[in-house]
């Protein structure tokens, strides 16, 4: 009887081991297939994302003649109304002003964006750059026009990063690739975990071993050391591409309000619109602290000024979620968006972009993301070499 029980235990253990080996073979095939095909796409997406971590600096470097200014001995900026007036004087009569963005730093120009509609109802967007110390126009460029390749280099690279230059409506392709890579990463973690449970073995590289073993160890170690940050960048990218779905999912756990409506201006008979400086003064009463980041300009008689005052503790440095809607005639505050009143779901959405780009972590965040842009390439090269090595071994065995 005891021998029978022992025999059954041995058979049961053997069946479990066979199922585990079969499971690992299946998972390995899934990991390998996704890596070879979706991984190739993700390599170029990762490299472009690494470069885009420094997108503003690169853009200024490539266009220094119009985007950078000389800092005078007494660095006093001209009134904001004067800066806008200089830009307006340089725009065509049919231009529709969109936004004034304040300089990123003391050596940057102020940026005014405007739109021009063509006879065939296409819209072309331009940027005018104005020296904030002299209120002189530095130059102009087309920002978005007829075709992606007519845009500045950084805009082209951004379009490539999240659409592969296939158009906004096809951004889901990159999102789908990201989901496949996410699955592959989880499968890779399962395959990485040592059979004996000693996870430290998965972090070691035996440099003196055979080339096959070194490549295998490199692939596992690189993935294991950086998987946490890689997953954050991957998940935030997927969430932004599928943002409507992300908002819907988040609303199941925490309220997520619609994008703010900053109201409508009420024309006053015999009164002209107020100046941009007066609109900013109204916003300063709501947010006396913070840096003036942008002013969205009214484009219709009922349009409003939207003044953005960026606080020092905002994770997002590209935009601000402290905005004030101001009536363009009376200067009355119509609506306030204050990130300090965000729900947990809204705060999650706020953090997506700064986590993805690294700007949430200040000066060290961007270099960190740029380095991680190389991670898909490292994983793809080591994974591809390992696949070739195994394929060659199987061919030799078959001879």
Per-residue pLDDT of 297-326, as tens digits, reads: 998 999 999 999 999 999 998 999 999 999
Shared domain check, 271 and 236: no
Length of the chain: 399
Residue 364 lies in a domain: no
Does residue 161 sit within a domain? no
Q: Are 165 and 148 in contact (CB under 8 A)?
A: yes
Chosen domain end from 151, 182, 212: 151
In angstroms, how far is the first alpha carbon of the chain from the final one? 48
Q: Would residue 39 count as lying in a domain?
A: yes
- As a whole number of angstroms, the distance between CA 287 and CA 283 comes to 6
Note whether 338 and 287 are same-domain residues.
yes
198 domain residue, yes or no: yes
Residue with the larger pLDDT of the pair 398 and 118: 118
**Total domains present in the chain:** 3
pLDDT at 115 (0 to 100) = 94
In tens, the pLDDT along 146-194 reads 777 889 999 999 999 999 999 889 999 999 999 999 999 999 988 888 7
In a domain, 84, yes or no: yes
Q: Which two tokens stand for residue 171?
A: 């951004």
Question: Do 384 and 236 lie in a common domain?
Answer: yes
Residues in CB range of 228: below 8 A, 6 or more apart = none
What pTM, to 2 d.p., does this model score? Answer: 0.89
Mean pLDDT of 186-206: 81
**Strand order across the 137-144 sheet:** 137-144, 123-130, 110-117, 96-101, 291-296, 304-310, 322-327, 333-338
48 with 170, same domain: the answer is yes
Residue 310 DSSP symbol: E
Return the CATH number at 271. Answer: 3.10.450
Long-range contacts of residues 242-249, Cβ cutoff 8 Å, at least 24 apart: 242/172, 242/175, 243/349, 246/349, 246/352, 247/345, 247/349
Instruction: Show the domain range for 171.
Output: 2-53+166-254+369-398
Which uninterrupted H or E stretch holds 35?
helix 2-52
- 73 lies in the same domain as 32: no
Q: Which among 227, 254, 226 has a CA at the least distance from the CA of 350?
A: 254
Query: 173 and 247 share a domain?
Result: yes
The bridge status of strand 304-310 relative to strand 291-296 is antiparallel
Read off the pLDDT of each residue in 219-246 and give the average, rounded to a whole number: 92
Asked if residue 157 belongs to a domain, the reply is no
Quick check: is 359 in a domain? no
Comparing CA positions, the residue from 328, 282, 283, 289 lying closest to residue 310 is 289
Confidence at residue 3, expressed as pLDDT on a 0 to 100 scale:
54
Cβ atoms of 326 and 332 closer than 8 Å: yes
Looking at the structure, tell me whether residues 188 and 44 fall in a common domain.
yes
Say if 347 falls within a structural domain. Answer: no
12 & 74 share domain? no
Is there a single domain that holds both residue 69 and residue 39?
no
Confidence band, pLDDT 50/70/90 cuts, at residue 58: very high
Apex 55 CA angle, 50 and 59, nearest 5: 140
3-state DSSP call for residue 257?
coil
Residue 207 shares a structural domain with residue 231 = yes
């Amino acid at each position: 009887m005891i021998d029978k029980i022992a025999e059954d235990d041995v058979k049961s253990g053997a069946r479990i081991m066979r199922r585990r080996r079969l499971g690992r073979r299946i998972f390995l095939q899934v990991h390998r297939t996704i890596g070879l095909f979706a991984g190739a796409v993700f390599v170029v997406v990762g490299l472009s994302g690494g470069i885009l971590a420094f997108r503003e600096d690169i853009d200024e470097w490539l266009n220094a003649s119009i985007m950078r200014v000389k800092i005078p001995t007494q660095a006093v900026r001209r009134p904001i109304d004067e800066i806008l007036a200089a830009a307006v004087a340089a725009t065509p009569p049919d231009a529709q002003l969109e936004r004034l963005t304040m300089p990123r730093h003391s050596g940057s120009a102020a940026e005014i964006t405007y739109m021009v509609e063509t006879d065939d109802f296409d819209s072309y967007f331009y940027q005018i750059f104005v020296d904030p110390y002299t209120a002189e126009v530095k130059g102009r460029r087309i920002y978005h026009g007829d075709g992606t390749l007519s845009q500045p280099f950084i805009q082209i690279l951004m379009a490539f990063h999240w659409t592969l230059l296939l158009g906004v409506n096809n951004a889901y392709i990159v999102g789908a690739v990201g989901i496949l890579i996410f699955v592959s990463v989880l499968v890779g973690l399962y395959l990485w975990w040592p059979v004996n449970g000693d996870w430290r073995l998965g972090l070691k590289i035996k440099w003196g071993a055979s080339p096959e073993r070194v490549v295998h160890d490199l692939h596992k170690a690189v993935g294991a050391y950086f998987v946490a940050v890689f997953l954050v960048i991957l998940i935030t990218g997927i969430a932004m591409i599928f943002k409507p779905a992300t908002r819907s999912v988040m609303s199941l756990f925490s309220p997520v309000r619609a994008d703010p409506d900053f109201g409508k201006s009420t024309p006053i008979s015999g009164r002209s619109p107020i100046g941009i400086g007066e609109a900013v003064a109204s916003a300063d009463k709501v947010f006396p602290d913070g840096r003036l980041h942008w002013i969205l300009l009214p484009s219709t008689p009922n349009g409003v000024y939207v003044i953005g005052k960026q606080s020092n503790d905002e994770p997002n440095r590209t935009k601000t979620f402290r905005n004030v809607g101001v009536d363009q005639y009376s200067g009355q505050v119509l609506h306030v968006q204050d990130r300090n009143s965000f729900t947990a779901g809204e705060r999650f959405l706020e953090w997506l972009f700064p986590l993805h780009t690294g700007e949430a972590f200040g000066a060290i965040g961007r270099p960190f993301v740029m380095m991680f842009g190389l991670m898909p390439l490292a994983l793809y090269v080591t994974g591809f070499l390992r696949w070739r090595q195994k394929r060659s071994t199987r061919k030799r065995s078959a001879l």
